[in-house]
Amino acid sequence: DILQRHSHDPTRLLQILIDAQQIEGWLPAPSLTRIAAALHIPRARVEGVAGFYSFLYTRPVGRYRVLFSDNITDRMLGNAELLDALCRKLWIEPGKLSEDGLVSVTTTSCTGLCDQGPAMLVNGRAIGQLNHRRINEIAELIRQQRPLDLWPAEYFRIDDNIRRRDALLDLDMPPGAALTAAIARGRDGWLAEMQASNLRGRGGAGFATAVKWASARNAPGAQKVIVCNADEGEPGTFKDRVLLNSFADLVFEGMALAAWAVSATEGFLYLRGEYHYLRPQLEAVLASRRQAGLLGTSILGQPGFDFDIQIHLGAGAYVCGEETALLESLEGKRGTPRIRPPFPVIKGYLGRPTVVNNVETLAKTCLVALEGGEAFAATGTAQSAGTKLLSISGDCAAPGIYEYPFGVPIARILEDCGASDTQAVQVGGASGMCLASYEFQRRIAYEDVPTAGAFMIFDGTRDLFDVARAFVHFFAHESCGFCTPCRVGTALLKGFMDKLADGHGAKADLNDIDWLDRLLKNASHCGLGSAAPNPVIDTLQKFRPAYERRLVSLDFEPAFDLDAALAEARQLTARDDPGAHLKTHEEEEK
Ligand code: SF4
């Protein structure tokens, strides 16, 4: 059934595996073999894909799969104690399957619920605002083996938490209005409007959207493709969740606007696995748009304007937010970033010219179509036109979504969200920048502080070393392993941070961290590896005492107690005289 639904198409392999997993809860070896045979592809490829994604399981997991969100903001809200409490109540060890196969409890990277954490996913369904009372109730529901559909509905209520609206979040547009305006301008006129708007990608890189569209339009090849990158995996970011939940029509209309400019025929929304629960409502929006003639053939009666959208699910791989890794994943492969050039606009999905845009970018194109490019560019700064959605979390009174015109100072944002005694702000997620209080007059803009939207606040009680260490763990976990500098470099970086945390740090380790920073920046294959040291380098520079108070020596210090490690050798040789012990620093100096 599953294979038929996916037309026995190997490019649908990831979707097939996701669907197959629904049946048994995991992917046993015979299932992988059957899928490989039915798709006429090597079994190694199927196993390679199944092994790549965190949300695909090739070993048994619990009938209740509990994944605690483990972003730094969840940690600040006590996720570790809650995880321990749940495990104690269920008599299981974290990371292990219960003997009866009922439940497994472990952690996952950020689930996009930092404004309402601590959060968890149970069989893919999100539950926020966890506390000990709720954990007790969840343990009881699991023990009773109550189906998720019968759990209290308020557990699954996810709030948008929109705290400040501007042009986009205030837009009340009937479906099709922006598309009608763009069609009236003709494809050339619409692209010219986009050029005038100076709209830049909201996913972080800030590339000019019109340039991307024009390149794909001019690229040779029919059957062009529009991809909406909804793989919002950067820790601390959740704005796309809100756009998809409450403004999906704007996002899909933006995809159609891109298709009109580029003459694309096919569209994909690549939805991160953590937002799986949004899929039914997104499918419903797509169905109503088809019914209204806003998708399908001859859209809005325009001959030759044929375009439709499918939803593809991701499965818990942060690296798939990188556009070429995302395309690999869309083609049913492991999400390994491609070598560029060729760029996706020339050779993207299945070798076809492909535009990959962020959710917010696409929604913003509706404003351009309705108001015109010049009006859009009139807001913001010279190099950063329009507004930006920020996902605010951490130490503040009102976490949530804030929309500001570009150019807003950090200090103003902190004031608006009720932050006090702020020590630092991590802007742009784990790969972004850590700003200290003396930088709070800086502005959100591509030319000053660029961001995809994450804005995590840390007050004076927080230890910035712990923050950086959490991000380093994240990168080491999410490295796809394709290139050695990143695979090994992120693991080494994690090792150095753990060594410092364990009280074995030395100044030499800080020098080695500097060296690793250069290695990762210069030799990594994609942005994940080159950005991995950012949180450490930033905090080392701005909060050095947080590191220095962990140093036990200015010279070399091993990561473990060497003398204790020799105890067995002393026992075997029956020697325990002073000569059989290593000297301490103090003894050496005497
Ligand atoms: Fe994979 Fe890291 Fe290399 Fe990127 S830099 S390709 S994430 S191993």
| Mean per-residue pLDDT, 317-335 | 96
| 183, 302 contact by CB (below 8 A) | yes
Q: Which amino acid is at 503?
A: G
What's the CATH number where 112 sits? 3.40.30.10
**CA-to-CA dists, residue 26 to 56, 62, 93, 123, 146, angstroms:** 7, 9, 20, 11, 20
Identify whether residues 212 and 188 lie together within a single domain.
yes
Distance separating alpha carbons of residues 83 and 106, to the nearest angstrom:
8
Nearest CA to ligand 1 atom 1: 480
The answer to the question of residue 119 being in a domain is: yes
DSSP string covering 544-582 = HHHHHTTEEESS---SS-HHHHTHHHHHHHT--SGGGSP
| 254, 295 contact by CB (below 8 A) | no
Pairing status of strand 354-358 against strand 308-313: unpaired
The answer to the question of residue 341 being in a domain is: yes
Q: Which of 336, 516, 520, 528 to mutate to test the pocket of ligand 1 (most atoms within 8 A of CB)?
A: 528
The answer to the question of residue 571 being in a domain is: no
What's the CATH number where 451 sits? 3.10.20.600
| Mean per-residue pLDDT, 16-26 | 94
Question: Token match 């029919």: residue?
Answer: 222
Please return the burial class of 425, using the count of CB atoms within 10 Å of its CB with bins 0-12, 13-18 and 19+: buried
What's the CATH number where 529 sits? 1.20.1440.230
What letters, b where the CB count within 10 A reaches 16 and e where it falls short, cover 323-353? Answer: bbbbbbbbbbbbbbbbeeeebbbbbbbeebb
The answer to the question of residue 564 being in a domain is: no
Distance separating alpha carbons of residues 273 and 111, to the nearest angstrom:
9
Distance separating alpha carbons of residues 37 and 16, to the nearest angstrom:
13
pLDDT 10s digits, 435-449:
999 999 999 999 999
Identify whether residues 217 and 270 lie together within a single domain.
yes
Distance of CA 246 to the CA centre of its chain: 20
**CA-to-CA dists, residue 347 to 7, 152, 200, angstroms:** 24, 48, 21
Cβ–ligand 1 distance for 529 under 6 Å, the answer yes
- φ, ψ at 477 (rounded to 5°): -70, -35
Q: For 143, how many CA atoms within 13 A lie in the half-sphere containing its CB?
A: 13
Structure confidence at residue 573 as a pLDDT band (50, 70, 90): confident
| Mean per-residue pLDDT, 330-357 | 97
Q: Which of 427, 462, 497 is the last residue of a domain?
A: 462
Residue 88 neighbours by CB under 8 Å, 6+ apart: none
Tokens of 483: 């290139």
Q: For 276, how many CA atoms within 13 A lie in the half-sphere containing its CB?
A: 18
Cβ–ligand 1 distance for 528 under 6 Å, the answer yes
Alpha-carbon dihedral of residues 476, 482, 485, 491, nearest 10 degrees? 20
The answer to whether residue 556 scores a pLDDT higher than 70 is no
Q: How many domains does the chain have?
A: 5
The answer to whether residue 584 scores a pLDDT higher than 70 is no
Identify whether residues 205 and 349 lie together within a single domain.
yes
Pairing status of strand 264-271 against strand 103-108: unpaired
Alpha-carbon dihedral of residues 319, 323, 325, 327, nearest 10 degrees? 140
Identify whether residues 537 and 471 lie together within a single domain.
yes
Nearest CA to ligand 1 atom 5: 529
The answer to the question of residue 237 being in a domain is: yes
Q: Which of 406, 430, 462 is the last residue of a domain?
A: 462
Cβ–ligand 1 distance for 479 under 6 Å, the answer yes
| Closest residue by Cα to residue 53 from 327, 339, 275, 273 | 273
Identify whether residues 235 and 352 lie together within a single domain.
yes
Distance separating alpha carbons of residues 228 and 345, to the nearest angstrom:
14
| 403, 387 contact by CB (below 8 A) | yes
| 305, 342 contact by CB (below 8 A) | no
The answer to the question of residue 558 being in a domain is: no
Give the model's pLDDT for residue 564: 83
pLDDT 10s digits, 166-215:
999 999 999 999 999 999 999 999 999 999 999 999 988 899 999 999 99
pLDDT 10s digits, 459-504:
999 999 999 999 999 999 999 999 999 999 999 999 999 999 998 8
Q: What is the mean pLDDT of the chain?
A: 95
Provide the 8-state DSSP code for 428.
S
Q: Which of 138, 159, 180 is the last residue of a domain?
A: 159
pLDDT 10s digits, 99-108:
999 999 999 9
Strand partners for 229 = 270, 358
Identify whether residues 251 and 357 lie together within a single domain.
yes
Cβ–ligand 1 distance for 480 under 6 Å, the answer yes
Give the model's pLDDT for residue 580: 86
HEC secondary structure over 269-297: EEECHHHHHHHHHHHHHHHHHHHCCCCEC
Distance separating alpha carbons of residues 127 and 44, to the nearest angstrom:
35
The answer to whether residue 585 scores a pLDDT higher than 60 is no
Q: Could you count the other beta carbons within 10 Å of the beta carbon of residue 291?
A: 10
Structure confidence at residue 590 as a pLDDT band (50, 70, 90): low
Identify whether residues 105 and 175 lie together within a single domain.
no
| Closest residue by Cα to residue 324 from 310, 344, 297 | 344
Lateral strand order in the sheet of 120-122: 103-108, 64-69, 120-122, 125-127
Structure confidence at residue 557 as a pLDDT band (50, 70, 90): low
The answer to the question of residue 239 being in a domain is: yes
Structure confidence at residue 561 as a pLDDT band (50, 70, 90): confident
**Domain enclosing residue 446, as ranges:** 388-462
| Mean per-residue pLDDT, 422-445 | 96
Report, in angstroms and rounded to the nearest whole number, the Rg of the chain calculated over CA atoms. Answer: 25
Identify whether residues 407 and 368 lie together within a single domain.
no
Ligand 1 mean position, distance from CA 497 (Å): 20
Tokens of 44: 């190694």
| Closest residue by Cα to residue 158 from 210, 204, 119 | 119
Helices (H) and strands (E) in the chain, counts: 25, 16
- φ, ψ at 244 (rounded to 5°): -70, -30
Give the model's pLDDT for residue 589: 61
Structure confidence at residue 239 as a pLDDT band (50, 70, 90): very high
Identify whether residues 186 and 142 lie together within a single domain.
no
pLDDT 10s digits, 246-262:
999 999 999 999 999 99
Cβ–ligand 1 distance for 45 under 6 Å, the answer no
The answer to whether residue 234 scores a pLDDT higher than 70 is yes
Ligand 1 mean position, distance from CA 485 (Å): 8
Identify whether residues 137 and 69 lie together within a single domain.
yes
Ligand 1 mean position, distance from CA 350 (Å): 22
The ligand 1 atom at the shortest distance from the C-alpha of residue 524 is 5
In the chain, the percentage of residues whose pLDDT exceeds 90 is 90
Identify whether residues 286 and 331 lie together within a single domain.
yes
Cβ–ligand 1 distance for 337 under 6 Å, the answer yes
Nearest CA to ligand 1 atom 4: 526
The answer to whether residue 392 scores a pLDDT higher than 90 is yes
Residue 144 neighbours by CB under 8 Å, 6+ apart: none
Cβ–ligand 1 distance for 527 under 6 Å, the answer no
Lateral strand order in the sheet of 400-405: 162-164, 400-405, 387-394, 454-459, 422-427, 433-436
Cβ–ligand 1 distance for 524 under 6 Å, the answer yes
The answer to the question of residue 24 being in a domain is: yes
| 51, 58 contact by CB (below 8 A) | yes
Give the model's pLDDT for residue 507: 87
Give the model's pLDDT for residue 553: 67
Identify whether residues 222 and 283 lie together within a single domain.
yes
